[in-house]
Structure 1
């Protein structure tokens, strides 16, 4: 299989104001301990408060406190466009039906695939690309504790996922989404070295646990507007009371409502010739 060249070279990592303040606080706390050892409770308290703030920001998937984060399409690409993102696949039962729905609506989507699942179902992952969609990186194993991995193991999860998806599809991912969108300060430097962008979402339907397709549609389409990035799941999909994967019940209605508003679906990577957020 021919492997496509990288779309983007490694990016330069720039610490955010929050991280710059964190570095300064740690240096200051060490200096204070050296000059006034008796003030160690104050130093420890300041560091603990700082780490709590970092944790809170990492638990907020749409925050930009730890680095760049695509929660919407870039303004230059957002006129009349939205992005559908689909996580946790490929799934041998659900993904083919999702692809058929997208074909029927002439829609494009972004599949954030797990590397190990792509290796298990390579032809299905290749079919995603053949039908005009984008395959992006959702890590190699989708560990639920991804956000608390150390930097070396986190980098290995991302790099292995990247290699797996390239080997299976020939398409080099441009975006990364961590498990549940949770992350730590280690993530952005790793993504910058890989030339990857962090992609979050504007709105989500919670369709891995929400069995009510009507509620999922409501969450995704209320005040739906150009530039929105929507999150659904083909892997780990919840089931309706009738046993249907929620995405299959919700996606056609989401696409119909988008079309009624004159909105088209695009891949995230198609916007990369424009400045990212």
Structure 2
């Protein structure tokens, strides 16, 4: 178990502090020397572009804390986290649960609140079978990264309340839809006592139905501390019409066992 500090007050990341100072400096320079306004405006535009690029990079930590790997203590124990997004999906999730049971391992399911409301019994089954349900937003909005602070809080808190009411366990982690965000997500997560998680490696299994290629991406450099991303919802289909995760998961679990690694839920690392 990793012990994390209890103080969850928001502290701006260095890039955010630098951005605020730059904006203040640009305003002051323009007031004191109006003729420099083109340079000041150019600096502000460049800064905004950098913040936008950081938000479009899911594994970036420049906007705030972001779990790309498990903590060092978990990595040293040979632990890995299998994370499964966009469910629950009645045509896929039950088979995923059976495969996990067959291998005797646990996983973390990042569930969408509205889908959980439609299939509450399936969400409860995930937890009853020893896995964890975490927050993947209420609606998985395509414009999620364009929300403001209030919009983030409303969307994420609604999913928190929904998932907690269904499963009896309040999520501890959040993954942004498609991993995209803006600088206001970090203070929203601090307000809701959630930790942002991205991934070490993903298989691009929402786009690629070739199980061999998806497996190869996930297994390249497999090591303790990895956070691996798959999808039970919105999964690409194999040539046989099945969700590709159903073909990939057995290969992944066999490789993890062969490497003597231990799959764990994210919350088990900190609780």
Confirm or deny a common fold (TM above 0.5).
Answer: yes
Q: Determine the C-alpha separation between the residues in 2 that align with 1:272 and 1:27.
A: 39
Kept after mapping to 1: 8 A contact 2:74/2:224: no
Pair 1:127 & 2:94 matched: no
Residue of structure 1 in register with 2:110 after alignment: 112
Residue among 251, 254, 262 paired with 2:252? 254
Pair 1:25 & 2:22 matched: yes
User: Structure 1, residues 7-45: CA drift from partner, whole Å, max 9, x if none?
Assistant: 996711111110110010011011011111221111110
Question: Structure 1: which 5+ residue stretches go unaligned?
Answer: 1-6
Query: Which stretch of structure 1 is more off in the superposition, 33-42 or 112-121?
Result: 33-42
Kept after mapping to 2: 8 A contact 1:82/1:228: yes
Q: TM-score, normalised by structure 1?
A: 0.94
Instruction: Calculate the aligned-residue CA RMSD, in Å.
Output: 1.2
Pair 1:74 & 2:71 matched: yes
Residue of structure 2 in register with 1:266 after alignment: 264
Shift >6 Å, 4+ stretches: 7-10
Query: Which stretch of structure 1 is more off in the superposition, 179-188 or 32-41?
Result: 32-41
Q: TM-score, normalised by structure 2?
A: 0.96
Kept after mapping to 2: 8 A contact 1:9/1:195: no
Residue among 88, 91, 105 paired with 1:90? 88
Count of aligned pairs = 267
Alpha-carbon spacing, 1:9–1:90, altered in 2? closer, same or farther (3 Å): farther
Residue of structure 2 in register with 1:50 after alignment: 47
Q: Determine the C-alpha separation between the residues in 2 that align with 1:253 and 1:68.
A: 31
DSSP-derived class of the 2:115 partner: helix
Q: Determine the C-alpha separation between the residues in 2 that align with 1:239 and 1:8.
A: 42
Cα deviation for residue 145 of structure 1 reads: 1.1
Residue among 6, 11, 36 paired with 2:8? 11
Kept after mapping to 1: 8 A contact 2:84/2:231: yes
Question: Structure 2: which 5+ residue stretches go unaligned?
Answer: none
DSSP-derived class of the 1:84 partner: strand
Cα deviation for residue 77 of structure 1 reads: 1.4
Q: Determine the C-alpha separation between the residues in 1 that align with 2:240 and 2:106.
A: 27
User: Structure 1, residues 125-170: CA drift from partner, whole Å, max 9, x if none?
Assistant: 0000000000000000000110111211111000001011001111
Q: Determine the C-alpha separation between the residues in 1 that align with 2:21 and 2:247.
A: 51
